[in-house]
Amino acid sequence: MDKNQGKTGGVKGYFPKSHVHVMGFSTLLCFSFGYLWYVFSGTSSKVSDTTSSNTQDFHNIKQSSNHILEDLLQIELPRMIYTKPQILKPPRCDVLMMTPWFAPIVWEGTYNSEILNEQFRQRNDTVGLTVFAIKKYVVFLKTFLETAETYFMVGHRVNYYIFTDRPEEVPKVALKEGRNIVVLQVQNYPRWQEISMRRMEMLSYFSQQRFINEVSYLVCMDVDMKFNDQVGVEILSDLFGTLHPAFYAAERRSFTYERRPASQAYVPSDEGDFYYMGSIFGGTVMEVYKLTKKCHEAIMVDKANGIEAIWQEESHLNKYFLYHKPTKILSPEYMWDDNLGRPEILKKRRFLAVPKNHAAIRNK
């Protein structure tokens, strides 16, 4: 057998690689000519028995058919060359890549960004990135936006939704084509914990009132962070959460869930899959709406009962993910703190905590 046989870039068979696209195109033309023969022969038999007006109709059909053939000759099918996946050779054996409910866990080396980008471009979607810059947290916006322009959803359309009580302090940042900053003015609250919890309320409201009409996906992030490497469409799914960098390898008994049964965020000690970080989560607008609405309602019930979950909205987020499993999970690459060192499994540090003095920022 010729050395080229069987190597068709993903098409199984015995055709030489150089002939695959020619044969596919030839098949398309054969079908086209067959259809045209049917049209012409059927029309011709009628022309002999009809008036000259039908002759003109035949001429028009022929001209139209010629245009169809010209269009067919100009078709360029997308073509990608990449290494064939190996069923018996998983890309990584040092980490869990799939949950028991078949949700992929995203690690470096487990996906092909070129394939994902091409698939996403065909859908022509826009991604919304939400961030809260309340009070002095507005100082983190410049670094956040500048690094996002370098690393976040590169080559795709993005709306940055900035929630702030200081719209006049939102920095001017040069944006690439198809990317926009939308400033949403909101009120602040005396305590940073209250600001943190109210985030669910505002995300729920704007998802229903605005985001659903403007973007397909929402990525909800903390502002006191910076992008350090590519964060692209590999993260997108109906509903995704992110493994907490301090607990990704811990047993469930070590998770800092809300353990008081009186709280709506309560998780029993014998339950729990992972501990998720509140700094980055998202999904389709509708799924984010359902998540944030449910969490806000639970927070309000706790508030009425004089209870505040141990980690505010993050505790309610973890409760939600326990009973509404995310369809994709991001590894600690997507939320890392360099104070935790550099474990061997961490091939990338994509989204990093910015060093800060919390006492100087919170409640200011």
Residues of each annotated binding site for Mn(2+): 222, 224
Tell me the C-alpha distance between 243 and 105, whole Å. Answer: 9
Residue 276 near residue 318, CB atoms below 8 Å:
yes
Annotated binding-site residues for UDP-N-acetyl-alpha-D-galactosamine read 132-134, 137, 222-224
**Computed over its alpha carbons, how large is the radius of gyration of the chain?**
28
Active-site residue (options: 201, 258, 287, 314): 314
Distance CA 350, CA 342 (A): 13
Residue 240 to residue 164: CA distance in whole angstroms: 25
Q: Are 332 and 105 in contact (CB under 8 A)?
A: no
Under a CB-based contact definition with an 8 Å cutoff, are residues 165 and 134 in contact? yes
Under 8 Å CB-to-CB from 175, ≥6 apart: which residues?
149, 181
d(C-alpha 134, C-alpha 179), whole Å: 22
Q: Residues 163, 192: contact at Cβ < 8 Å? A: no
Can you tell me which residue has the tokens 């998770």?
255
Half-sphere exposure of 360 (CA within 13 A, CB side): 4
Specify whether 214 is catalytic.
Answer: no
Residues annotated within a binding site: 132-134, 137, 222-224, 244, 256, 314, 337
CA atoms within 13 Å, Cβ hemisphere of 334: 29
Positions marked active-site? 314
